[in-house]
Structure 1
Amino acid sequence: MRGRPLPTEMKAALSVCGVLCLLALCAAEHQAPGPTLRDRSHIEDTLRLATSEPSTELSASMKKLLNIYHTAIKPMEQAYKYNELRQHEVTDGEITSKPMVLFLGPWSVGKSSMINYLLGLHGTSQELYTGAEPTTSEYTVIMNGEKFRSIEGIVMAADSSRSFSPLEKFGQGFLERLVGIEMPHKLLERVTFVDTPGVIENRKQQERGYPYNEVCQWFIDRADLIFQVFDPTKLDVGGELEMLFRQMKGRESQIRLILNKADSLSTQNLMRVYGALFWSMAPLINVTEPPRVYVSSFWPQDYAADTSRELFMKEETSLLEDLNQVIENQMENKIAFIRQHGIRVRIHALLVDRYLQTYYDKLGWFSDPSEVFRDIVDDPDKYYIFKSILAKTNVSKFDLPNKEAYQDFFGVNPVSSFKQLSSHCSWTGGCLLEKIERAISHELPALLGSVSRAADAPAPAKAAPPPPPPLPGTCEGPGCQEKPKNRWRSQ
């Protein structure tokens, strides 16, 4: 075999293989370089990631806020079961949590890519998976941690130190679609990102396996900033997206509309898409001042050629400044949130007290207690329940809850489980109503003022360098008789 010549067919096959290998090598040598990545230095500069350090004033103010909540607001909240009315339980983890940025929008508009870009995860093992198809089916919470790890939703809900323990009420089906990711990052030391499943209009909400709207409402209520991301090719508004905007009613100041992938269009088409976006959103956001719209391409690759690079970069910088402003105002927003929560708890307590007072006034010797109270709950306007609160207290009519909510509330909680406000007083602890009113009127505004003054105070000046030694022939020091001249006074 060693001396026998190769067959003609085998020689031809080997020659063809050699030619193909040579062509593959030439193609590899002349292969076009990969996409150019964008410079990210402006992100660190705008968000001040290099100089951000935990402040001692922030920690002290947080302790004061927790003390005010536990001593003045929470006792009233527990005495009148406010959590069963609003389904909004405030925990210590929620008060001390970092600002939350929520990403909403249709599928495959670039929400996950935008998070990867802000955190610099492109090309790393921690990068969030992205693609042209619907890829994010879970609620992904990206948090700061000592090392990179993934946390199951069941573990997140069971940890009372986190702010996500109330999510357990949405059931096991939702917790299986909740994922937490921890990683060490300077930006995550100051903020938490939440990536949500994309809105899919051609699917019914019931097919998700969990209450989608209720879960979105929970995150919307706690978000400090809401990024509603759109793709130029996905501007249609369906039932799910319309419901989302309805749930964000009253939170318009937190909404930012983002027209992503803007460098995929020419300038003329971009102007048309920008107008179409406002035309689509106008019926959903019924406010005098429209929300801020950012037009850019939020991903690590460089902008496409022949596009408005300077405009996109300015828009991106404006968005980063907006995000940094929310981070800087973290303590002010927490105090305002707790004060608003305290006002609602106080109004709820006053209404329950008024229901009880009316019940005791109308209850006779031979009347049926259940029928009397049911009549009051079914028609509170006949007994001036809500009008008396407006007349006797400094409560705005716009802050009053829905009277139908109290029909459900008293349907679960019998009247015998509550006491009037006058009964919640003691010689040593004082009255619950006085405590919560003092916190709303004096303690929380004073804490807010101290935080604002600390934020506006200039940074301490550096120590001045020691003066240079005196020149030869000059007289300086206590032994000199000549006084220095004052150039502002005539000699």
Structure 2
Amino acid sequence: MKGTVLICCFLSLLILQATAEEEGEEIPSVLRDRSHIDETLRLATEEKAGDYAAALERLRKIYHTSIKPMEQAYKYNELRQHEISGAEPTTSEFTVIMHGEKIRSVEGIVMAADSSRSFSPLEKFGQNFLEKLIGIEMPHKLLERVTFVDTPGIIENRKQQERGYPFNDVCQWFIDRADLIFVVFDPTKLDVGLELEMLFRQLKGRESQIRIILNKADNLATQDLMRVYGALFWSLAPLINVTEPPRVYVSSFWPYDYAPDTSRELFKREEISLLEDLNQVIENRMENKIAFIRQHGIRVRIHGLLVDRYVQTFKEKMSFFSDPELVFKEIVDDPDKFYIFKSILAKTNVSKFDLPNRDAYRDFFGINPVTNFKPLAAQCSYMGGCLLDKIEKAITNELPALLSSINSGKQPGLSSCEATGCGEKPKNRYRKN
């Protein structure tokens, strides 16, 4: 499996024509020097495909045996549902740019039917979506290492039209599988509003993988470009709730020469920086996948502990004469009264900054009755062990060990435990001994 780069609101980054031809813009005839691309991306370097495949298979096994069971038992994916109304797309297709022996297009229905392409799960979104999915194969060295996915762009302040398929669910499917996410802006059509806010809400938890691109920068004079850059940075700051904001790359990402009287050297350096960033992500994609699965496992564990606490509290408060709905409504409406979240912090090593929003559980239990869930103590079997034990072993031992094994041949640096904070097993005083 190759790395995946998701391109939001853009068409075919680094794959020639961009959007100018579709929009009727005049195409320059002079191509600029692009020799730095192969050098920066190290396309001549051979990869150890066998080592990568073995590590990926081990990662899959850890996920399916140690994390997914708790994820399914406590319906973690339903907690993650995003209440987002989709934005109006500027292009109608999801375009997947991938490696092939020759240049050709592949229809979405063919991609989904071919299990070797890893797109068969997309069938669940229906035939209307598959008609909006297209693959483009190219015999390019870069595409042996990474697959690009171009999502339909969005335009603010447009009336939402029915697309016939779950647009946001499809976007989330690709987001969950992306190693790097580019969100691309046109400086002449800078629209930052509610729909973009909803997009970043959908990218929550993926902030470290987001890169912002201010494209077509040579269309503006230097002073105007500085003003647009500042406005974009200011507008995005409240949308991306992280200490260090994502990197913003400013250039003109197509193969034609820059417009006259523009910052040519600056734009080229920005493009090289982006390519170096992309190359770094490609080379470290296994480390990134392990880190993400570990982060995901921590969130699933916290969710399991919280659901377990809700279940236990409900059972403690119920009596023969109690109304189950009224009892649980009181618990869900005011979890602090029953120390739901505080007990998790007191009895486990969970950070208060990792706790989900309390309101999310009101919605979660609104569609999932508390009686549908077993307590963690009952989620054990003689052959399979306990869900909590398995997920904690994955987080504290198996995933850090896998990371250490693939890093063993690299330059000295932080050890896996120093980088991931493994070390001793976290104390879980919540579990009965």
If the length of structure 2 is used for normalisation, what is the TM-score?
A: 0.77
Does the 8 Å CA contact 1:260/1:295 hold for their aligned counterparts? yes
User: In the alignment, what sits opposite 2:61?
Assistant: 67
Q: Sort the Cα spacing of 1:173 and 1:310 in 2 relative to 1 into closer, same or farther, 3 A.
A: same
**Counterpart-to-counterpart distance in 2, 1:333 and 1:249:** 16
Offset, 1:440: 0.6
Alpha-carbon distance, 1:439 to partner: 1.0
- State the AA in 1 paired with 2:390: K
Q: How far is 1:54 from its partner?
A: 4.0
Matched, 1:47 2:2: no
Find the residue that maps to 2:31 and give its secondary structure. coil
Structure 2 equivalent of residue 386 of structure 1: 341
- Alignment partner, residue 302 of structure 1: 257
2:257 and 2:370 map into 1 onto residues whose CA distance is 65
> Are positions 1:439 and 2:389 aligned together?
no
* Matched residue type, 1:84: E
Q: Deviations over 1:369-419 (max 9, x none)?
A: 454444434443332222211111111222222333333433444444432
SS across alignment from 1:434: helix
1:447 shift after superposition: 1.2
CA drift of 1:158 comes to: 5.7
Out of 169, 180, 183, the residue aligned to residue 228 of structure 1 is 183
Q: Which amino acid aligns with 2:52?
A: L
Amino acid at match of 1:67: K
The residue number in structure 2 matching 1:192 is 147
Query: What SS does the corresponding residue of 1:354 show, helix, strand or coil?
Result: helix
**Residue identity matched to 1:66:** R
Q: 1:214: how far off?
A: 4.7
The alignment covers a number of residue pairs equal to 382
The residue number in structure 2 matching 1:365 is 320
Identity %: 78
User: Cα distance, 1:138 vs. partner?
Assistant: 1.2
Inter-partner Cα distance in structure 1 for 2:359 and 2:398? 33
Tell me which residue corresponds to 1:37.
31
Deviations 1:329-378 (A, max 9, x none): 10111101111111122122212222222233223234344544444344
- In structure 2, the residue matched to 1:409 is 364
Pick which of 137-146 and 370-379 moved more: 370-379
Q: 1:323 aligns with which of 270, 278, 281?
A: 278
Structure 1, residues 209-238: CA drift from partner, whole Å, max 9, x if none? 555455444444443222222233222434
Which residue in 1 is equivalent to 2:229? 274
Structure 2 residue 51 is the aligned partner of structure 1 residue 57: yes
What's the counterpart of residue 428 of structure 2? none
1:141 is paired with a residue whose SS is strand
Assess, with a 3 A threshold, how the Cα gap between structure 1 residues 57 and 455 changes in structure 2: closer, same or farther.
Answer: farther
> Which has the larger displacement, 154-163 or 341-350?
154-163
Is the deviation greater in 413-422 or in 163-172? 163-172
1:395 corresponds to which residue?
350
Whether the aligned pair in 2 keeps the contact of 1:226 and 1:255 (CA below 8 Å) is yes
Q: Counterpart in 2 of 1:251?
A: 206
Deviates more, 1:292-301 or 1:360-369: 360-369
The SS at the match of 1:454 is: coil
Question: 1:177 is aligned with what amino acid?
Answer: K
Structure 2 counterpart of 1:347: 302
8 Å contact from structure 2 (residues 155, 191) kept in 1:
no
**Which of 234, 259, 266 matches 1:311?**
266
Change (3 A) 1:356 1:263: closer
Q: 1:236, 1:280 within 8 Å by CA — same for their partners in 2? A: no
Return the offset for 1:310: 2.1
By how many angstroms is 1:256 displaced?
2.2
Instruction: Please give the alpha-carbon distance, in whole angstroms, between the structure 2 residues aligned to 1:156 and 1:273.
Output: 40
Aligned-pair CA distance for 1:323: 0.5
AA aligned opposite 1:241: L
Aligned partners of 2:217 and 2:225 also within 8 Å: yes
Range with greater deviation from structure 2 (149-158 or 351-360): 149-158
Verify the 8 A CA contact 1:171 1:210 in the aligned structure 2: yes
Map of 1:98 onto structure 2: none
Code of the residue aligned with 1:56 in structure 2: it is: G
Structure 2 Cα separation of the partners of residues 404 and 158 of structure 1? 40
8 A contact 1:245–1:285 mirrored in 2: yes
Secondary structure of the corresponding residue to residue 299 of structure 2 = helix
- Over 3 Å counting, the alpha-carbon distance change for 1:241 and 1:152 in structure 2 is same
Q: Is the 8 A contact 1:47 1:320 kept in 2?
A: yes
Could you tell me which runs of 5 or more consecutive residues in structure 1 were left unpaired when the two chains were aligned.
Answer: 1-33, 89-104, 108-133, 459-491
Q: CA shift at 1:292, angstroms?
A: 2.0
CA shift for structure 1 position 327: 0.5
Aligned to 1:438, the other structure's residue is in SS state: helix
Question: In structure 2, what is the equivalent of residue 291 of structure 1?
Answer: 246
Between 321-330 and 145-154, report the one with greater CA deviation: 145-154
Q: CA deviation at 1:319?
A: 0.9
Q: Which amino acid aligns with 1:337?
A: F
SS in 1 for 2:161: helix
Indicate the residue corresponding to 1:76 in structure 2. 70
Structure 2: tracts of 5 or more residues without a match: 1-27, 414-433
Q: Which amino acid aligns with 2:267?
A: F
Deviation at 1:186, TM superposition (A): 1.7
Equivalent position of 1:3 in the other structure:
none
Pairwise CA RMSD: 3.2
1:336 corresponds to: 291
Of the structure 1 ranges 167-176 and 39-48, higher mean CA displacement relative to structure 2 is found in 167-176
Q: Secondary structure at the match of 2:312?
A: helix
Q: How far apart in 2 are the matches of 1:208 and 1:168?
A: 16
Deviation at 1:148, TM superposition (A): 4.2
CA distance change for structure 1 residues 385 and 265 in 2, over 3 Å: closer, same or farther? closer
The alignment partner of 1:303 has SS state of coil
- Distance in 2 separating the partners of 1:83 and 1:278: 32
Contact kept, 8 Å, 1:144 with 1:183, in 2: the verdict is yes
Given that 2:108 and 2:130 are in contact with CA atoms closer than 8 Å, whether structure 1 keeps it comes out as yes
> Where do 1:418-433 residues align within 5 Å?
418-433=373-388
- 8 Å Cα contact 2:88/2:161 also seen in 1: no
1:471 is aligned to none
C-alpha distance in 2 between matches for 1:143 and 1:47: 16
Change (3 A) 1:306 1:222: same
Bigger drift between 152-161 and 257-266 goes to: 152-161
User: Could you tell which deviates more after superposition, 292-301 or 368-377?
Assistant: 368-377
- Provide the C-alpha distance between the structure 1 equivalents of 2:368 and 2:193, rounded to a whole number of angstroms: 39
1:262 has 2:217 as partner: yes
Indicate the larger mover: 195-204 or 63-72. 195-204
TM-score, length of structure 1 as denominator length: 0.69
User: Distance between the aligned counterparts of 2:183 and 2:59, measured in 1?
Assistant: 31
